[in-house]
Amino acid sequence: MAYQRYDYEVIASWIQQGERVLDLGCGDGSLLKYLQETRQVRGYGVENEPERVVASIANGICVLQLDLEQGLAGIDDNAFDHVIMSLSLQAMRNTQGILAEMLRVGREAVVSFPNFAYWRHRQAIINGHMPVSESLPHQWYNTPNVRFFTIADFESLCAQEGIVIREGLAFDDGRLVLDEPNFMASVALYRLGRNSACAEEG
């Protein structure tokens, strides 16, 4: 999907050669495979959906079947350079917990999510229906998403949790959105760090 490619490219641009990477909610492992091929990263995918675990193994990546809602117990602090969660944060209940865990085991976190305040989504609500779009492909009755938030909401949460936004990019249909991202962008990507780490780097 074209929709996935730019997501992958942006994430890859934030990753250095040979880094240790953890990809949470890795799906069929295609992002991690892409990063292995383009950045020679070493790392693991984490997935809890059995069929996707099989697909990840078939893709030749290391995958761990774990329930992310339980956190990342057993993984050491700072074990990874980047911990990625691509388009999965909205499907997790323990939002604050997993963000804290990502920044515990990783030097930086990379998060992407669909923006519920995208203008087409707003239009759908005004027309009386829950939004269904490329970034929100499910109906309200079968969506795996459990948290419905916007770019503005996410940035507020980061401020509240002491999470430093190192970089944030917003997209509409694969095109970079610079103006009014909370209105104009369907998907947002962030590179996040810890407060203390930020101070260290000056």
Partner 1 sequence: MNETSSVGIVTPRVARFEQALALRCGASLPGFKLVYETYGELNRERSNAVLVCHALSGSHHVAGQYADDPDNVGWWDNLIGPGKPLDTDKFFVIGVNNLGGCYGSTGPLSTNPATGRRWGADFPFVTVEDWVDSHARLADQLGIERFAAVVGGSLGGMQAMNWAIQYPDRIGHALVIASAPKLTAQNIAFNEVARQAILKDPDFHGGHYYEHGVVPARGLAQARMVGHITYLSDDSMDRKFGRKLRHGKPIYSYDVEFEVESYLRYQGEKFAGFFDANTYLLTTRALDYYDPAAGHGGDLTRALSAAEAEFLVVSFSTDWRFAPSRSKEIVGALLHGDKRVSYAEIDCAAGHDSFLLDVPLYHGVLRAYFDNIRV
Q: Which is nearer to partner 1, 107 or 147 (CB)?
A: 107
C-beta separation of 121 from 136 below 8 A: yes
Q: List binders of partner 1 among 45-74 (CB under 8 A).
A: 50-51, 53-58, 60-66, 74
Residues β-bridged to residue 112: 86, 189
Q: Which is nearer to partner 1, 61 or 92 (CB)?
A: 61
Query: Please, what is the minimum distance in Å from the beta carbon of residue 70 to partner 1?
Result: 11
Q: Site for partner 1 (CB under 8 A): how many residues?
A: 22
**Structure tokens of 36?**
């292995």
Q: Is 77 in the site for partner 1 (CB under 8 A)?
A: no
Position 27, amino acid? G
Extended strands (E) in the chain: 20-24, 42-47, 62-65, 80-86, 106-114, 163-172, 175-176, 187-194
Nearest to 195 by CA among 103, 111, 110, 79: 103
Length of the chain equals 202
With tokens 């909401």, the residue in question is 153
With tokens 């917990």, the residue in question is 97
φ, ψ (nearest 5 deg) of residue 72: -120, 40
Q: Which is nearer to partner 1, 74 or 202 (CB)?
A: 74
Query: Please, what is the minimum distance in Å from the beta carbon of residue 55 to partner 1?
Result: 8
Query: Please, what is the minimum distance in Å from the beta carbon of residue 30 to partner 1?
Result: 14
Question: Which position among 44, 113, 118, 190 is part of the footprint of partner 1 (CB under 8 A)?
Answer: 44
Q: Which is nearer to partner 1, 57 or 165 (CB)?
A: 57
Q: List binders of partner 1 among 3-32 (CB under 8 A).
A: 20
Distance in angstroms (rounded) separating the CA atoms of residues 126 and 132: 13
Nearest to 184 by CA among 198, 171, 199, 169: 171
Query: Please, what is the minimum distance in Å from the beta carbon of residue 181 to partner 1?
Result: 36
Please give the span between the terminal C-alpha atoms of the chain, in angstroms, as a whole number: 39
Q: Which is nearer to partner 1, 84 or 117 (CB)?
A: 84
Q: Which is nearer to partner 1, 63 or 170 (CB)?
A: 63
Query: Please, what is the minimum distance in Å from the beta carbon of residue 48 to partner 1?
Result: 9
Residues that bind partner 1 (CB under 8 A): 20, 42, 44, 50-51, 53-58, 60-66, 74-76, 79
